[in-house]
Amino acid sequence: MQLNLSKGLTHIQEKVSPNSITNECGGEGCRVYRTDLPRKRVVINVEKEFDSRGDSRKRCDRMLFYGNAGKKTFVAVPIELKSGKTEESDVREKLENSLKFATTLAPDRRENGETVYVPVLFHGRGINWTNPRRRQLTVNFQGKSVPVLIGRCGRKKNLANLLSEAGYL
């Protein structure tokens, strides 16, 4: 199957407000590096997009979309940014709502391959865990428990390293 990743990215851009498109994956006092990410990508400021739609649900800060031609997948990455310490329950709700939103933007799988959803949290000072022994953040998505990739704000290649180590780049 020949993937049309550019068409998939264009499809996403057409479904959101032009004011919501950004080039930055970071913000909110949390630096996220774009180094080593695919050049063809779309980054959405999810807060701006929800506001433009009049949607008041909790949501993540950014959403990254890119194609992985080698794996014949399209990748949707909701990114929650916390410069300080964060509450596990707050992050979970924001990422779950954002994953649902991402499904409304995902392109046709016949042309772009299966869409893979990869929730990410970047924090500056740690996480207040509900269960300190567990220390693995998961979200409920499409009837499954999906692990959240967790990284630190400001570390070089932080996003690319997380995605690469998990097999998504």
Position 82 scores a pLDDT of 87
Q: What's residue 72's pLDDT?
A: 82
Which pTM does this prediction carry? 0.89
- For residue 129, the model assigns a pLDDT of 60
pLDDT value at position 2? Answer: 45
Q: Output the CA–CA distances (angstroms, integers) from residue 138 to 52, 101, 103, in the order listed.
A: 28, 18, 18
Q: What does the pLDDT read at residue 126?
A: 67
Q: Rounded to whole angstroms, how far apart are CA atoms 59 and 166?
A: 23
pLDDT along the chain (169 residues), means of 10: 67 93 88 91 95 94 90 91 80 94 84 85 74 73 94 91 93
CB atoms under 10 Å from CB of 147, counted, come to: 12
Of 59, 129, 46, 51, which is closest to residue 93 (Cα–Cα)? 59
